[in-house]
Amino acid sequence: MDEDLAKTLKYLRLGGLLAHWDAYLELAQRQRFSPVRLLRHVLDEEVKLKRDNARRLRLKHAAIPEDLDLATFPFERQPKLDRKKVLSLYDGFDFIAKAQNIIWMGPTGCGKTGLATGFLIQAINRGYTGRFVLFPALVQELFAAIADHSEEKVLKRYLAYDCLLIDEIGYIEVEPVQVGLFFTLLHQRHRRKPTLLTSNLGFGDWRSFLKNDHLTAALIDRLTESSHLFNMKGCISLRPKLSQES
């Protein structure tokens, strides 16, 4: 490949063609591709590359702390979890189109985050945008937005995600103004897309940290109106136990 052609491919951002030019020519000669077939093959490969690059970028922007695949989840260690229901929901993949929330509740370490992350990654791999955020970090961001009057901007950004995962709801107490913004974020009139949530507390305990009975009740009604709930209360911790020194 001469220098001018290389510059042209770089300008057109045809990275796949630039990287595999010689391989494409060899393949075309070996399999006797017609010019049309060769062009179609090259274009198909470029589309695959761009889609994969876009997927990788969506994953990066999702800020997922750990790449957790549902295929590796140890269902055999959680016999009280409805494995059939989880996999049916995952394989059916209609919670996005139906804007259905998925909520996992249970003790620390039982696998709630891993399951939710698996669903989020699936959505991203299928072409949707997504974001992972810890509840404490989200609350802090909403609180900071009040100080610089950027609430609308922050809410708009979170509302735009096709699939939003809010992890570890219930670990911190929330100020009244933060409760209002959190309610606004998840209210049906605003967020009409699925939200994945994990919590170590049952709904009956949410008043203890949200500290607003009216908004808490309204929020729970909103979340459970169109959602799938997995109660993992009786599930064990999957985290390795630290050995005790004698």
Number of domains the chain is built from: 2
Domain boundary among 62, 88, 103: 62
Tokens of 92: 């059916």
Instruction: Indicate the pLDDT class of residue 189, thresholds 50, 70 and 90.
Output: low
- For the sheet containing 227-231, what is the strand order? 130-134, 163-169, 195-199, 101-105, 227-231
**Domain shared by 56 and 81, yes or no:** no
Q: What are phi and psi of 3, to 5 degrees?
A: -65, -40
Q: Tokens for 8, please give them.
A: 């042209």
The model's pLDDT over 138-163, given as tens digits with 9 standing for 90+, comes to 999 988 998 899 999 999 999 999 99
56 and 77 belong to one structural domain: no
40/77 same-domain check: no
If asked whether residues 13 and 83 sit together in one domain, one would say: no
Indicate if 37 and 101 belong to the same structural domain. Answer: no
Residue 243 has pLDDT above 50, yes or no: no
Contact predicate 226/101, CB 8 Å: yes
Of 240 and 105, which is predicted with more confidence? Answer: 105
Residues 58 and 79 in one domain: no
Please, which residues have CB within 8 angstroms of residue 41's CB and are 6 or more apart in sequence?
A: 24, 27, 28, 33
Rounded distance between C-alpha atoms, residue 2 and residue 154, angstroms: 49
Average confidence score pLDDT of the chain: 89
Q: What is the pLDDT of residue 241?
A: 55
Range in 5-9, 40-44, 203-207, 225-229 the model is least confident about: 5-9
Angle at 145 between CA 55 and CA 134, to 5 degrees: 50
Distance of alpha carbon 59 from alpha carbon 128, whole angstroms: 10
Residues 24 and 91 in one domain: no
- pTM of the predicted model as reported, rounded to 2 decimal places: 0.86
> Which residues, in sequence order, are CB contacts of 196 under 8 Å at separation 6+?
101, 102, 103, 104, 116, 119, 120, 163, 164, 165, 166
- Whether residue 195 is predicted with pLDDT greater than 50 in this model: the reply is yes
Last residue of a domain, one of 39, 62, 85: 62
